[in-house]
Chain A
Amino acid sequence: MSIVTVQLGQCGNQIGFEVFDALLSDSHSSQGLCCKRENEAYQASCKERFFSEEENGVPIARAVLVDMEPKVISQTLSKAAQSGRWKYGQHACFCQKQGSGNNWAYGYSVHGPRHEESIMNLIRKEVEKCDSFSGFFIIMSMAGGTGSGIGAFVTQNLQDQYSNSLKMNQIIWPYGTGEVIVQNYNSILTLSHLYRSSDALLVHENDAVHKICAKLMNIKQISFSDINQVLAHQLGSVFQPTYSAESSFHYRRNPLGDLMEHLVPHPEFKMLSIRNVPHMSENSLAYSTFTWAGLLKHLRQMLISNAKMEEGIDWHVRPSLSGPSSLGKMSLNKDLHFNTSIANLVILRGKDVQSADVEGFKDPALYTSWLEPVNAFNVWKTQRAFSKYEKSAVLVSNSQFLVKPLDMIVGKAWNMFAS
């Protein structure tokens, strides 16, 4: 089943390009560590989800690009065409002359309604091209004007017009010390609207990704394209095809549906985060070997201590032994910033994946009392390796990770408002 991507604003378009690039280059990679037939099935599945075929064989991304000023879209289109391996549809973009001026209100109340018909038309054309439609993947930032304002508006519209389809919004949490001065206003306005209309919010924090680039990838001068590539890697490792059940060997047909089924058990809790191991620069990769046990142990501790990357994990944080029932233990956990999860999904890709042991994630102490680990935790395993990593594990989790950043943003916005 296919996913239609909607890229909004400068951030959305820049990231969207990197995502499609990562997806396609992984599916064409020769280091899949599996047999040819397997590889072909993988490629076909990936292509069906994200690309449509054209006459001359160049895959066209199933995407709609929206921005209020033309520079970024033209850059994105040309970069895609230059790669030669894929491109965007010629008429799949919508842009205006004047930007939104970092003004959420402009995006939501002025540009949104004004261009509602054109944008929805473009989306409809893209959806009609799909044989079987899974849902929408909307990429946007929260701090700017176009991504946030129009993103909120479009998601609401999609809710009305395509009420049976799922919508997953990929939102970019801005840096703590401004890229934009009014980012706090824009962010809380966006979140409040999205929470009602979106089905799942996949959040990436710029600060966290920046640290990954600095510490794990050892990049000296980090540019936005570096950050976007890390993001694309994480998203790719989630969205690439995986097996449907333990024993069968067919790839999953409904990626978005399966993700939401496992991760959003309650509509009030829909903030998801991605953590993946390992993540390092290509130079270091040649000298490293991994074991499943080691990777999964790190991943579990990253989850519990709310760390976003492999380095600097706080190993002191531990789940309480007798389960989350006694109050005394709860307060202890709070001091050590224990991160309780509602639901977790681990996706394993690579060599010897069947031997990986995920029992550590089934500990009831990690989860809330109203959802048993058997329902809260799931694992998907795939033989085919992802993007040059012999073994890679990614954890998508619905947990408390965003509480503190959210509190900070609300506090700052309130401060500015009440001045």
Chain B
Amino acid sequence: MTQSVVVQVGQCGNQIGCCFWDLALREHAAVNQKGIYDEAISSFFRNVDTRVIGDGGSISKGKICSLKARVRYISLDSYITLIFDCNRKESLNVMEGIEMLRIRPGIRTNKKMQGILKILVLIFRAVGHRVFGSLYQDQILEKLRKSAEHCDSLQCFFIIHSMGGGTGSGLGTFLLKMLEDEFPEVCRFVTSIYPSGEDDVITSPYNSILAMKELNEHADCVLPIDNQSLFDIISKIDLMVNSGKLGTTVKPKSLVTSSSGALKTRHKKPFDAMNNIVANLLLNLTSSARFEGSLNMDLNEISMNLVPFPQLHYLVSSLTPLYTLTDVNIPPRRLDQMFSDAFSKDHQLLRADPKHSLYLACALMVRGNVQISDVRRNIERLKPSLQFVSWNQEGWKTSLCSIPPVGHSHSLLALANNTCVKPTFMELKERFMRLYKKKAHLHHYLQVEGMEESCFTEAVSSLSALIQEYNQLDATKNMPVQDLPRLSIAM
């Protein structure tokens, strides 16, 4: 069984990461009743016996309840308080002893200066990338190597971060480059939270564009998510729950946003519900690799099938269902409804319109008691309303996993490589240009050693090239399929 390491960077990354680990444990606890450390759990957790004095060897099998499972993740942040939050666990002491690196901002011990610098780092990605990156490069590398060594066969890195802030975008993308140099054959999946229109950070366009350049070049696969969509999803769920439509009730554990049954009782924080959605996304993505099923799909198959050209690796994700009603027997109509929902704008984690844009590829990862005939029936049903690129008319990748997520009887994650991400990028570029033309806030970035104006222009041109590629594909959208003459055999 392959293992993955999760690297969470920045406040956003770490908050999502905390939710992810909670939900992952809950899922494995539901599947694995006896508490035996098995193959499925080993993909994200490492079994350690802390009763052994010394370094504590890793034991591959054995009851988890008496041992501590060490979480395979590296948490990087300049906010120390956040990490403490994650650590405060009573029940299972899972998060103890994680590979953690706290970055203390600078050598200054003056509390006031520390406070100011913290804020600065959060906002200015340049500091995150250049300063902290190079300062702590060795330490970070050390932690990464240690984590990788504990794995029998490391398959991929999951990086969770935001694009708008400083640490997440700056340090996160610096890490990306480092991972590519250090572990070239391990794939890098990046979950990026893109800033929405009304963002709390003013310089987020700068940060995002600079980070995009790195994502373009060094990531294998990017799952862009924006806060506005997550917020819309939450409001929709709240509406359903509160209105009590049709007199039926929603199963409490089934909410995609709920962390009930999680091992740790945390105080509800405002972003919790939204973070849970992203955590569910990651869980569903890796479900076929961790659990058994009739048509498995490993993580390396995702990039193999969904990324036709190396630059175009941005996948729009959508998750259904968001909640389950308490009906026991799910009629096939519900199943079909699930597939239709996956292609509606309401369930997407990124604001985009894939139905009116060109699909390059699409993957359907189904969990639960769904069979191949259901999937095929729905593909046949939905195909006419979707436009696929001319050289990949039947570009569907399916995977069936038998284990459903907690609280649901089945679920669907749809990943689409679609040109509808183009408007998002174009909007980002526009907000960037508005600030850049006036050179607003630029001097803070240029103050940082190693940062020059050329970095900005390079970043913008990289994004423009990407948009251009999408444009070219869009241009082929309504053209009739050209049959190129085939090679003829020399008799």
Binding site for B on A (CB under 8 A): 10, 14, 69-72, 75, 97-99, 101-103, 145, 175-182, 210, 213-214, 219-225, 227, 410-412, 414-416, 418-419
Contact = CB atoms under 8 A, between A and B. Distances in A.
A410 B488 CA distance: 13
B277 interface: no
19 contacts: A69-B296, A71-B1, A98-B155, A98-B300, A101-B300, A101-B304, A102-B305, A175-B376, A178-B394, A178-B396, A180-B305, A181-B396, A182-B305, A221-B373, A222-B372, A223-B373, A415-B484, A419-B390, A419-B391
A227 B357 CA distance: 35
Nearest to B296: A10
Contacts of B298: 69, 98-99, 101
A71 B2 contact: no
A210 B373 contact: yes
B294 A181 contact: no
A403 to B, nearest CB: 15
B304 A182 contact: yes
A10 B289 CA distance: 13
Which of B2, B301, B393 has its CB near the most chain A CB atoms (within 10 A)? B301
B484 A179 contact: no
Contacts of A415: 390-391, 481, 483-484
B199 interface: no
Given A102-B301, A177-B396, A412-B394, 16 more contacts: A97-B1, A97-B153, A99-B301, A103-B304, A177-B376, A177-B379, A177-B383, A179-B397, A179-B398, A210-B373, A223-B294, A223-B371, A415-B481, A418-B391, A419-B389, A419-B391
B312 to A, nearest CB: 13
Contacts of A219: 373
A105 B371 CA distance: 29
Contact of A70 (B39, B306, B391, B393): B39
B304 A224 contact: no
A296 B296 CA distance: 40
B486 interface: yes
B327 interface: no
A225 B295 CA distance: 11
B410 to A, nearest CB: 12
A182 B392 CA distance: 9
B296 A179 contact: no
B281 interface: no
Given A102-B304, A414-B484, A181 B361 contact: yes
Nearest to B153: A97
Nearest to A72: B296
Contacts of B379: 177
A70 B40 CA distance: 11
B contact patch SS: mixed
A416 B298 CA distance: 23
Nearest to B362: A181
Q: Please name the 9 residue pairs, one residue from A and one from B, whose CB atoms are nearest each other, closest first.
A: A101-B300, A419-B391, A222-B373, A97-B153, A223-B371, A178-B396, A99-B298, A181-B305, A224-B294
Most B C-beta atoms less than 10 A away, residue of A14, A72, A103, A419: A419
A179 B373 contact: no
Nearest to A213: B373
Contacts of B292: 71-72, 75
Contacts of A177: 376, 379-380, 383, 394, 396
B374 interface: yes
A225 B300 contact: no
Tell me which of A145, A181, A221 has the highest count of chain B C-beta atoms within 10 A of its own C-beta.
A181
B35 interface: no
B395 interface: yes
B404 to A, nearest CB: 15
Interface in B295-335: 295-296, 298, 300-301, 304-306
Interface size on B, as a range, is: 35 or more
A75, A224, A412, most chain B CB atoms within 10 A: A224
Contacts of A72: 292, 296
B152 interface: yes
A72 B361 CA distance: 26
Nearest to A178: B396
Interface in B1-54: 1-2, 39
Contacts of A416: 391-392
Nearest to A14: B294
Nearest to B370: A221
A273 B295 CA distance: 25
A221 B392 CA distance: 28
A125 B393 CA distance: 45
Interface string B255-299: 000000000000000000000000000000000000110111010
A175 B400 CA distance: 15
Nearest to B389: A419
B372 A223 contact: yes
A97 B2 contact: yes
A98 B396 contact: no
A10 to B, nearest CB: 6
A178 B395 CA distance: 6
Contacts of A71: 1, 39, 291-292, 296
A179 B295 contact: yes
Contacts of B153: 97-98
B304 A414 contact: no
Interface string B452-487: 000000000000000000000000000001011011
Contacts of A418: 391, 484
Nearest to A410: B486
A181 B396 CA distance: 6
A204 to B, nearest CB: 15
B343 to A, nearest CB: 16
Contacts of B152: 97
Interface string B351-382: 00000000001000000000111101001100
A207 to B, nearest CB: 9
Given A75-B292, A98-B300, A181 B395 contact: yes
Nearest to A207: B376
B391 A176 contact: no
B1 A225 contact: no
B396 to A, nearest CB: 4
Contacts of A227: 372
A14 B295 CA distance: 10
A356 B362 CA distance: 51
A213 B373 CA distance: 10
Contacts of A101: 298, 300-301, 304
B251 to A, nearest CB: 23
Nearest to B288: A71
A181 B484 CA distance: 20
A54 B372 CA distance: 37
Contacts of B1: 69-71, 97
